[in-house]
A and B are shown apart, each in its own frame.
Chain A
Amino acid sequence: AQSVTQLGSHVSVSEGALVLLRCNYSSSVPPYLFWYVQYPNQGLQLLLKYTSAATLVKGINGFEAEFKKSETSFHLTKPSAHMSDAAEYFCAVSRNYQLIWGAGTKLIIKP
């Protein structure tokens, strides 16, 4: 069975610091992986996706993620955090025409 684990329900970083949000997956077949962002009181928005092409995937708002098969990871990074990045981030894996979601990580940006 496929599953997604996001390490840390809350991550706090200073403005301008590196953002690292962790996601590990379990999958019996090469997965399609996604990161979504949810701003307060809004729906989810696709940040980026991995579909077995390049292992380093660039998304919107300066985010990127690297697929590492050996570590079964798909961590999300951004070199320099901005106050507007404060949101909840969800990692997901595609299975049988639907998404299996992680529990989410709330990113807090300190001024």
Chain B
Amino acid sequence: EAGVVQSPRYKIIEKKQPVAFWCNPISGHNTLYWYRQNLGQGPELLIRYENEEAVDDSQLPKDRFSAERLKGVDSTLKIQPAELGDSAVYLCASSPSTGRTAGELFFGEGSRLTVL
């Protein structure tokens, strides 16, 4: 069974440029998460999807970040325009269901963004 696939693995851009990250979750997983992880810190949730619906986007900086999950399968996270402080690893994760066992997440390898 294929795991969570993310691309690109690495991206270097100049500030004010746009960038997009793509995630394909494990087949059959209804819940999809985007996290941001800064160096030396734990992941912070940006957005959670249940199928195609964004059910928690309270931590997503909506002035520059957007996300979509068309058809409830793969997802794209976009930043426009990027700022220096956006340099981080963007992690996508999926899980088969929510509820109190929502901690069983399956992560992709992440997309490391460097903004110059």
Contact = CB atoms under 8 A, between A and B. Distances in A.
A41 interface: yes
B75 to A, nearest CB: 15
A34 B107 CA distance: 14
Contacts, number: 67
B31 to A, nearest CB: 8
Nearest to B10: A41
A32 B103 contact: yes
Interface residues of A, number: 22
A101 interface: yes
B41 A103 contact: yes
Given A43-B91, A43-B110, A97-B48, A34 B42 contact: no
Contact of B107 (A32, A45, A102, A103): A45
A33 to B, nearest CB: 8
B79 interface: no
A49 B95 CA distance: 15
Interface of B: 4, 33, 40-45, 48, 55-56, 91, 93, 98-110
28 contacts: A32-B103, A34-B104, A42-B110, A43-B93, A43-B108, A44-B91, A44-B93, A46-B104, A46-B105, A49-B101, A92-B42, A92-B103, A93-B103, A94-B102, A97-B55, A97-B56, A97-B98, A97-B102, A98-B33, A98-B102, A99-B43, A101-B42, A101-B44, A103-B40, A103-B42, A104-B40, A104-B41, A104-B42
